[in-house]
Every structure is written in C-alpha cells, then in structure tokens.
C-alpha cells in the first residue's frame, strides 16, 4: 500500500513504520493518523511480522506534536470528537495490538507525539530526544491519552508537574522517570531497538499477545487484571506454542514457535 505521510518497511520479521513529514517535524494530522491506523492493522494481520518499530524521519523529531492548524477553529463538539476518534483509531489501537510495538524516539516527542510513543508497549530514546506535553500553553489538555498514560508510567506527581509546567525533559530524565527503557546514541537507535525486537522474536508470539492483554487489563476500569491473567494463562495450554515450548525445554533444545 502507498502512503503519503508514513513509510513502512520490513526485514527479518520486524516491521518499521516511519512517520515521514520532515518539513512539519513529523507532526500528526488526521491523514497521518488514518494512515498509521491502516499500517498497524495491516501488519497485525501479517503472519510474517512479529514485532513493529515506530519512529520518525530525520534526526530532529520522532513526532513533534499535532498539526495545530488543523483544529485551531474547532468547536467544543469538534474538539471532543477529535480526541475520541484519535484515541479509538490509533492510540488505544496500538496499546491493544496483539503484536509488540516499540517506539524508537529519535528527537522531539511532544504533545501528540509523546502520546503516540506512550501508546506503544515500551520506548527507547536517542540521547538527543526531548519529551513533553505542552498542551496547556495552547489552552488545551492532552487529548490522546496523555493524562492517563503519563501517570501510569512516571507516577502522578511527576505527570502533574510535566503537564502543568509544559516543560520538556531530556532523554536522561525520561529514563530516570521510567518513561523510556533505554537511551542510546541516535546512530545506534534503530539497531539497538532491532536487537531487542530480535530477543522478543525468540519467544512465543501467542504467549506475548496474551501477556500484552493481561498487562493492559490492570489499567482498565472495571477489569480484574488477575482474572484476565488466569484466563489467558489457561488459554496458553491449548496452543501449539505451549506444546513446542515445553517439549523443547524437556528435550534441551531451542523452541521453534509457529504462533499457533
């Protein structure tokens, strides 16, 4: 499929999606959000793809925010619809994807860009990265899940400070806060991220999918995460991956998982 705002490539069962609007610092607009949704949906249904990496083009920005010109004149109802549709179409969609999604943050991740990174299952940053939620400087609040996911990752107090001051933090602070897992040089970022993706691919795709579901359940209102874990633990016993994993362990050989 041809896209106008993103690039999609795959190699060794790893797909890389690159937001490709360098003249706009990869800012998110409605067309880009739609294209990202379509790309993630297609890759989730592609049996050859085991891990997805999300990054930005160039050396300055992962995604520097939302395209403000697109919604500057919106009404209350239009603003609410913008947030609701974006969350459903992309941010919640990524969070609940069956395949692991790693954000490789290669520069500015601000506003909707940081919210996009936080919707991924975990994050790796280049040492030049800067992160923040500056929405209150525009008379807004984060609308793509930022007020929910940031406290989950860094704690309520730090999230309150970041959102209320609208100040950016650097990659070292982001790692200290638990917002990103690793910090590497820009030159190393994609290869390092792919090395973690390769480790993930050694394991059962079905088990990873069920682990994602169980972990996410802990953050959903009205859902008992322990019950979700028990249910998905049980489901693993009916898979070929479970039979292969236990047989390989007992036979002292490496597992060859099929994802079935």
Residues marked active site are found at 115, 135
**Tokens encoding 128:** 């030049």
Measured CA to CA in angstroms, residue 84 lies from 14, 39, 41, 73 at distances of 30, 20, 19, 17
**Tokens encoding 249:** 């362990």
List the beta bridge partners of residue 122: 102
**Tokens encoding 28:** 């998110």
Rounded CA-CA distance 22/75 in Å is 29
Rounded CA-CA distance 35/33 in Å is 5
Rounded CA-CA distance 20/32 in Å is 9
Looking at 36-174, which runs of residues are DSSP E strands?
51-56, 61-63, 101-105, 108-110, 122-126, 130-132, 169-170
Looking at 20-106, which runs of residues are DSSP E strands?
51-56, 61-63, 101-105
């Amino acid at each position: 499929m041809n896209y106008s705002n993103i690039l999609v490539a795959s190699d060794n069962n790893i797909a890389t999606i690159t937001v490709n609007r360098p003249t706009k610092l990869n800012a998110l607009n409605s067309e880009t959000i739609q294209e990202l949704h379509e790309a993630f949906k297609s890759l989730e249904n592609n049996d050859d793809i085991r891990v997805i990496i999300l990054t930005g083009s160039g050396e300055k920005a992962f995604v520097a925010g939302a395209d403000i010109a697109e919604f500057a004149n919106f009404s209350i109802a239009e603003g609410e619809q913008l947030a609701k549709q974006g969350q459903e179409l992309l941010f919640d969609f990524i969070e609940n994807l069956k395949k692991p999604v790693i954000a490789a943050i290669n520069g500015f991740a601000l506003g909707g860009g940081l919210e996009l990174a936080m919707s991924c299952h975990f994050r790796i940053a280049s040492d030049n990265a800067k992160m923040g939620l500056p929405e209150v400087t525009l008379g807004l609040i984060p609308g793509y899940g930022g007020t929910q996911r940031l406290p989950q990752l860094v704690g309520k107090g730090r999230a309150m400070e970041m959102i209320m001051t609208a100040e950016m933090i650097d990659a070292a602070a982001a790692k200290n806060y638990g917002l990103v897992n690793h910090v590497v040089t820009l030159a190393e970022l994609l290869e390092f991220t792919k090395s973690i993706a390769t480790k993930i691919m050694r394991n059962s795709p079905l088990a990873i999918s069920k682990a994602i579901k169980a972990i996410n359940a802990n953050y959903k209102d009205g859902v008992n995460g322990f019950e979700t874990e028990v249910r998905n633990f049980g489901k693993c016993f009916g898979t070929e991956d479970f039979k292969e994993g236990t047989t390989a362990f007992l036979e002292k050989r490496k597992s060859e998982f099929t994802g079935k």
